[in-house]
């Protein structure tokens, strides 16, 4: 079945440590996204990629980095510069960025906590 | 700004009807999505509106008024499994410069 796979489901980070969250899709979608969700708040966009080898900052990119070397993969690194990383991270994809009536498909999320 | 406003919480009774409202600023509007999200899970797509009027999909319907910057999601014949958060998301702008903004979500609780 086609879909988006995020791993791991739960992740713990020590102070000063970088961690990478995996996101893989086999939907042949061009566009991919990373969101952060905090309790009582909406999804906030961290980074997005309209096409392979291209990505742009979202609204809260500070302390995060991404790469898009392959169409199906869009890993997110939470760096030590991100001072409040505890959150639920959601990866999404869509057929293309510009096609306005196509919904985003979401992965099951990764819950990141500080030790 | 491009704030999306939804009620934080709502409660309804099994078998009843509930309407979840969403308001947004109209400038640059280019489509509105509704998603359902069960606790700790991925959001799943429910509906899309870009023209005024009502879109019906089984027990769920979504309405849009572009001039008023207003949408609602209508859930009929409520079931316990409908207990979830409902996210309103609006696309602002066009083409590669467009941006999707999510509301904070409405947490719907269904009581027997």
Which tens digits make up the pLDDT trace of A48-64? 999 999 999 999 999 99
Round to the nearest angstrom and report the end-to-end CA distance of chain A: 35
Does the CB of A16 have a partner CB in chain B at under 8 Å? no
Distance of alpha carbon B34 from alpha carbon B44, whole angstroms? 9
Burial of B40 (0-12, 13-18, 19+ CB in 10 A): exposed
Question: What is the average per-residue pLDDT within A36-47?
Answer: 90
**Residue B93: what pLDDT?**
87
pLDDT band for A1, please (50, 70, 90 cuts). Answer: low
The residue ranking higher by pLDDT, B12 or B2, is B12
A-B C-beta contacts closer than 8 Å:
57
Q: B51 — phi, psi (to 5°)?
A: -110, 155
Does the CB of A104 have a partner CB in chain B at under 8 Å? yes
Residue A95 has pLDDT above 80, yes or no: yes
Supply the mean pLDDT for chain B. Answer: 94
**Token pair for residue B89?**
């998301």
Does the CB of A97 have a partner CB in chain B at under 8 Å? yes
**Residue A99: what pLDDT?**
66
Cross-chain residue pair A45–B100, CB shorter than 8 Å: yes
Supply the mean pLDDT for chain A. Answer: 92
Question: What is the average per-residue pLDDT within B74-97?
Answer: 94
Distance of alpha carbon A12 from alpha carbon A14, whole angstroms? 7
Cross-chain residue pair A50–B96, CB shorter than 8 Å: yes
Chain B residue with Cα closest to A40: B104
Closest by CA position to A21, among listed A95, A106, A104, A90: A90
């Amino acid at each position: 079945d086609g879909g988006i796979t995020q791993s791991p489901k739960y992740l713990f980070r020590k102070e000063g440590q970088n961690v990478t969250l995996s996101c893989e899709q086999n939907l042949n979608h061009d566009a991919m996204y990373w969101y952060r969700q905090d309790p009582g708040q909406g999804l906030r966009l961290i980074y997005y990629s309209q096409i392979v080898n291209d990505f742009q900052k979202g609204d809260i990119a500070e302390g995060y980095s991404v790469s898009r070397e392959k169409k199906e993969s869009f890993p997110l690194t939470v760096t030590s510069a991100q001072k409040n990383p505890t959150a639920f991270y959601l990866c999404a994809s869509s057929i293309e960025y510009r096609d306005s009536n196509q919904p985003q498909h979401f992965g099951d999320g990764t819950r990141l906590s500080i030790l | 700004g491009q704030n999306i406003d939804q009620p934080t919480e709502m409660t309804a009774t099994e078998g009843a009807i509930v309407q979840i409202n969403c308001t947004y600023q109209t400038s640059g509007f280019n489509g509105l999505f509704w998603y359902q999200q069960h606790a700790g899970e991925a959001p799943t797509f429910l509906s899309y509106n870009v023209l005024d009027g009502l879109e019906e999909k089984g027990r769920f319907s979504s309405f849009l008024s572009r001039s008023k910057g207003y949408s609602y999601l209508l859930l009929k014949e409520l079931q316990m499994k409908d207990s979830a958060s409902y996210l309103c998301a609006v696309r602002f702008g066009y083409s590669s410069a467009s941006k999707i903004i999510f509301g904070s979500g409405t947490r719907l609780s269904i009581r027997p």
